[in-house]
Amino acid sequence: MSESVPVRCPACRREHLYAAPTYPCVCGAPVSPPLGPGARAVTHQVWEEAWVTVECALCGRRSEWPHPELGCACGTVLRIAVTADGADPARSVVERAAAGDGTARAVDPADASAAAEPPLPAGNAVPATPAPPAPPRRAFQPITIRTARDAVTVAALYLRWLGYQDIRRADQRPPSGIGLAARGTSGVGLTARGLLAQVDPTVRPASPRDVECLWLTAMTESAHCVYFSLAGYTAEARARADTLGVPLFVLDLTGTPQPVNTLADELGHT
């Protein structure tokens, strides 16, 4: 669980309790910026100051993530302080378990493995060996989005992670953004039909017309479609996508597509 620190707005003096966000490292371990005391008001955004380097306690990889920020009700944007260079000294690779007196003690990996083994049945009977479970799908590896090309790259990698193949630039150019085309496989939840994806890296939320144009283009090519937007969608666009059956994703700056509607959520969990 990420740490929480009290934050006071320097403009209105209102108190807040801020929890550090958690991001996925490429090794699969969760990392979060270690918060320091205090916060300052952001008068204007600077790209270099909007990122912080965080070190993964598990693999030691250092990656850049969005600097922790908090929006106060008075309209002030607060940038939360982080410790030193962003390395998190509080995390440990060794798991900890609660002892009887309420303190924490390190758990020996060998003891943990022994405790996880089920007891043998009485007598000489040998229990049947259960079939091994199917290996879980590897977690999606995000790429930090800094440019429009990064947004397109993330969308292409996400489609490949879903199981689509032969991802390329679409033949028909959409009214806004970049169009991608992909070939489906039998392992994809949307069947083996092809797919058209629209990636909108602009700062304008997608409109109902954008969703309709993508859907109509996909209909003419007998393909499914999916929309990736960096700035999100208007309420009318989300309603239209639900009517037409278009999955909607938002691309956050960490490079992780976030589902906006139920169709996108189902597609991501297929």
255: left (phi over 0), alpha (psi -120 to 50) or beta: left
Residue 218 domain-assigned (yes or no) = yes
- The total number of structural domains that make up the chain: 2
Cα separation, 180 vs 187, in Å, equals 20
Helix (H) or strand (E) holding 13: none
Distance separating the N- and C-terminal Cα atoms of the chain? 27
**Among residues 211, 67, 228, 65, which one has the least CA distance to residue 151?**
228
Indicate the residue type of 26.
V
DSSP code, position 49: G
Q: Which of 24, 59, 82 is the last residue of a domain?
A: 82
Same domain for 259 and 162: yes
Residue 101 domain-assigned (yes or no) = no
Residue 87 domain-assigned (yes or no) = no
Same domain for 261 and 173: yes
Burial (CB < 10 A; 0-12, 13-18, 19+), residue 151, is buried
Same domain for 161 and 49: no
Where residue 154 sits, what CATH number does that domain have?
Answer: 3.40.1350.10
List pLDDT tens digits, range 139-187: 888 888 888 888 999 999 999 888 888 888 888 888 888 999 988 764 4
CA-CA-CA-CA torsion sign (267, 197, 217, 230): positive
Q: How many CB atoms are closer than 10 A to CB 70?
A: 16
Same domain for 155 and 78: no
Residue 42 domain-assigned (yes or no) = yes
Same domain for 164 and 260: yes
List pLDDT tens digits, range 120-130: 555 555 555 56
Residue 139 domain-assigned (yes or no) = no
Q: Which of 63, 82, 101 is the last residue of a domain?
A: 82
Predicted structure pTM score: 0.51
- pLDDT for position 188: 45
Residue 51 forms beta bridges with which residues? 66
Residue 224 domain-assigned (yes or no) = yes
> pLDDT: is 225 or 15 the higher one?
225
Residue 134 domain-assigned (yes or no) = no
Residue 109 domain-assigned (yes or no) = no
Domain that holds residue 191: 148-268
List pLDDT tens digits, range 45-99: 666 677 788 888 888 888 877 888 888 878 788 888 887 544 333 333 333 333 3
Task: Supply angle C-alpha 114, 117, 120, rounded to 5.
Answer: 115
Q: Which of 82, 106, 130 is the last residue of a domain?
A: 82
